[in-house]
């Protein structure tokens, strides 16, 4: 019964998530410092649009990488956004506060109505509204002293039997061209340029630029909309060069030679492999007992990895960020030379024991930053995970006693531009659609740390039984591939739409508008 309830709840949460923010922009946003520019830069350029512009699944990385250090490149794009929701979610107001010199504005993928002209979600608008929304962006940008540049939407990779792209975005491209001509706005025709490029290289080569997703049977297939690192650098280069051709001030700030992938990008392309099976990768899990093998989500997470993944759970009962380091466990974890490190602490950091206690607003964040720096120093990729919620209910809702540490984890992730899997929010959201009795079906029995965690009941509402390990392990796996997209082929598939992950609980701009 609980499995059926859970999937119904998940479907509700996913539907609700489409109307919410899909993660923070690549740069942590603070209204007080939004207009402050990176030292030594002379020009600021913002990306304004949907997931095909984001860093993790669009051309944002490649766009920014192709500028010299004189350009402060700010990615304000958001997965799932349309001309309507970018404004309604408050993202446009935030973008204006960054006070760039130029904005590259690209929408269309999520504005599309169904064929019969009926909107199926709150993102979609009619072509008339799309036209009006673009004009309003242009007008308001100019009023704020910003120079707008319109960019027709990147094509989806819809190859037909003739071996050529048959785009579903030509109407939106034509409308944007009309707006640009009538309002005298510089235009980058990425739609036409991307179609010409893909027609030239063909479908097989085009797939090498794609991330993956799961079909209705859980099979890994190519995503025809979003981009891996290689794709980001191909199409990002196009947009940067075109912007330089349009704007004399920008031209000398475009790198003469195309940017090459960073160390992280090279790693990601090896991990994504051929895009179907994935490449060999080592994942190391560190944390406390809610991650560990005896009663945490770690075993459930490792269980849904393909044989290409070496998944090592080094989390230990009773540890905090502080004691995990002081006892030598962190040094042993680093010695594994993992490719990705999933780091989750909080349960024991909040305890008064001086050997373990850290302050959420202080030393806890200092330790997390050390973990991340150490992982990057060995060429790995750190991924932060907020604490799994305890399952104690009061007045029909879960007691959120870990929120300070979860918020601190999110803050560190934003500062360091890292993926944060917000397990605290996801697990809390799921549990809040259950009763205490239903939630207790996740409880572990006879866990060694049960007494220390549960002083008011004989039930262990912190640790997980095998069923709970499967549920929350899958939750973490399904969440991380929304942002660390190269891991997609290495996660055993769940049929599309059956994930237990609420889509709004993963930080950074996750792809939500693919077909």
In order, the DSSP letters of 293-342 are: TTTSSHHHHHHTB-TTEEEEE---TT--HHHHHHTTHHHHHHTT--SEEE
303 near 297, Cβ under 8 Å? no
Q: Nearest-CA neighbor of 442 among 297, 344, 301, 314?
A: 297
Answer whether residue 219 is part of any domain: yes
Q: 286 and 257, same structural domain? A: no
- Same-domain status, 216 and 334: no
Three-state DSSP class for 114? coil
Shared domain check, 295 and 179 = no
Domain boundary among 196, 226, 261: 261
Q: Examine the fold and report which residue of 231, 261, 291 is the final residue of a domain before the chain moves on.
A: 261
Segment (H or E) for 222: strand 220-227
Identify the domain containing residue 176 by its residue range: 2-261
Instruction: Catalogue the E-assigned strands of 36-138.
Output: 43-49, 71-75, 102-106
Is 464 a member of any domain? yes
Contact 251, 311 (CB under 8 A): no
- Per-residue pLDDT, averaged over 143-151, amounts to 98
Question: Taking the CB of residue 85, how many other CB atoms lie within 10 A of it?
Answer: 26
Q: What is the mean pLDDT of the chain?
A: 90
320, 430: one domain: yes
User: Does residue 158 share a domain with residue 40?
Assistant: yes
So what's the pLDDT on residue 113? 80
CB-side neighbour CA atoms (13 Å) of 486: 27
Q: 291 and 233 in one domain?
A: no
371 and 233 both lie in a single domain = no
Q: Are residues 407 and 477 in the same domain?
A: yes
**Count of beta carbons in the 10 Å neighbourhood of residue 81:** 31
Indicate the range of 209-213, 307-311, 449-453 predicted with least confidence: 449-453
pLDDT score for 365: 98
6 falls within a domain: yes
Would 76 be classed as within a structural domain? yes
For the chain, give the longest Cα–Cα distance. 72
The 10s digit of each residue's pLDDT in 441-495 is 999 997 777 666 655 667 999 999 999 999 999 999 999 998 899 999 999 987 5
Q: Within this chain, do residues 328 and 243 fall inside the same structural domain, yes or no?
A: no
Residue 507 in any domain: the answer is: no
- Identify the CATH number of the domain in which residue 66 sits: 3.40.50.1110
| Pair (356, 460) in one structural domain | yes
On whether residue 485 sits in a domain, the answer given is yes
User: For residues 191 and 10, which has the higher predicted lDDT (pLDDT)?
Assistant: 191
Nearest CA among 427, 329, 439 for reference residue 387? 427
Give a yes or no: residue 511 inside a domain. Answer: no
Tokens found for residue 47:
């990306």
**Last residue of some domain: 228, 261, 294?**
261
Question: How many domains is the chain built from?
Answer: 2
- d(CA 203, CA 177) in angstroms, rounded, equals 27
Whether residue 293 sits in one domain with residue 248: no
Instruction: Judge if 407 and 346 occupy the same domain.
Output: yes
Number of Cβ within 10 Å of residue 152's Cβ equals 25
In a domain, 447, yes or no: yes
Cα 493 to Cα 476: distance, rounded to the nearest angstrom: 13
Assign 24 a pLDDT band (cuts: 50, 70, 90): very low
């Amino acid at each position: 019964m609980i499995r059926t309830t859970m999937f119904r709840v998940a479907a509700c949460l996913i539907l609700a998530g489409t109307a919410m923010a899909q993660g923070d922009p690549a740069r942590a946003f603070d209204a007080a410092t939004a207009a402050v520019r990176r030292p030594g830069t002379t020009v600021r350029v913002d990306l304004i649009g949907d997931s095909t512009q984001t860093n993790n699944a669009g051309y944002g990385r490649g766009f920014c990488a192709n500028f010299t250090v004189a350009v402060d490149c700010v990615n304000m794009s958001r997965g799932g956004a349309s001309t309507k929701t970018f404004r309604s979610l408050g993202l446009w107001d935030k973008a204006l506060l960054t006070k760039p010199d130029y904005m590259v504005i690209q929408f269309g993928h999520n504005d599309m109505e169904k064929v019969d002209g009926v909107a199926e979600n709150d993102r979609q608008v009619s072509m008339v509204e799309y036209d009006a929304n673009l004009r309003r962006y242009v007008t308001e940008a100019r009023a704020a002293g910003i120079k707008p540049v319109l960019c027709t939407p990147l094509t989806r990779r819809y190859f037909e039997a003739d071996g050529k792209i048959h785009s579903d975005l030509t109407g939106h491209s034509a409308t944007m061209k009309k707006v640009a001509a009538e309002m005298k706005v510089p235009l980058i025709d990425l739609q036409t340029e991307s179609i010409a490029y893909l027609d030239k290289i063909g479908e097989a080569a085009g797939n090498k630029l794609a991330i993956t997703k799961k079909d209705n049977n859980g099979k890994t297939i190519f995503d025809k909309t979003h981009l891996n690192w290689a794709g980001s650098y191909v199409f990002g280069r196009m947009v940067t060069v075109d912007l330089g051709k349009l704007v004399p001030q920008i031209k000398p700030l475009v790198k003469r030679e195309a940017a090459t992938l960073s160390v992280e990008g090279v790693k990601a392309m090896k991990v994504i492999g051929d895009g179907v099976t994935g490449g060999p990768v080592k994942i190391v899990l560190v944390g406390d007992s809610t991650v560990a093998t005896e009663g945490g989500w770690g075993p459930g997470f490792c269980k849904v990895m393909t044989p290409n993944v070496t998944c090592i759970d080094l989390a230990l009962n009773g540890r905090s960020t502080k004691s995990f380091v002081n006892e030598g466990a962190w040094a042993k974890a680093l010695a594994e030379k993992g490719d990705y490190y999933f780091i989750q602490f909080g349960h024991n950091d909040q305890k008064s024991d001086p050997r373990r206690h850290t302050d959420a607003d202080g030393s806890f964040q200092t330790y997390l930053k050390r973990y991340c720096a150490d992982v990057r120093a060995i060429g790995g990729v750190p991924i932060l995970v907020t604490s799994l919620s305890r399952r104690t209910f009061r007045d029909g809702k879960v007691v959120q006693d870990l929120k300070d540490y979860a918020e601190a984890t999110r803050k560190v992730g934003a500062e360091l531009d890292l993926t944060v899997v917000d397990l605290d929010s996801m697990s809390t959201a799921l549990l809040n659609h259950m009763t205490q009795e239903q939630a207790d079906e996740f409880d572990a029995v006879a866990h060694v740390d049960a007494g220390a965690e549960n002083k008011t009941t004989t039930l262990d509402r912190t640790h997980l039984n095998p069923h709970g390990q499967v549920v929350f392990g899958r939750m973490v796996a399904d969440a991380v591939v929304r942002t660390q997209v190269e891991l997609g082929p290495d996660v055993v598939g769940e049929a599309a739409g059956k994930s237990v992950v609420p889509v709004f609980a993963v930080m950074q701009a996750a792809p939500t508008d693919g077909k």
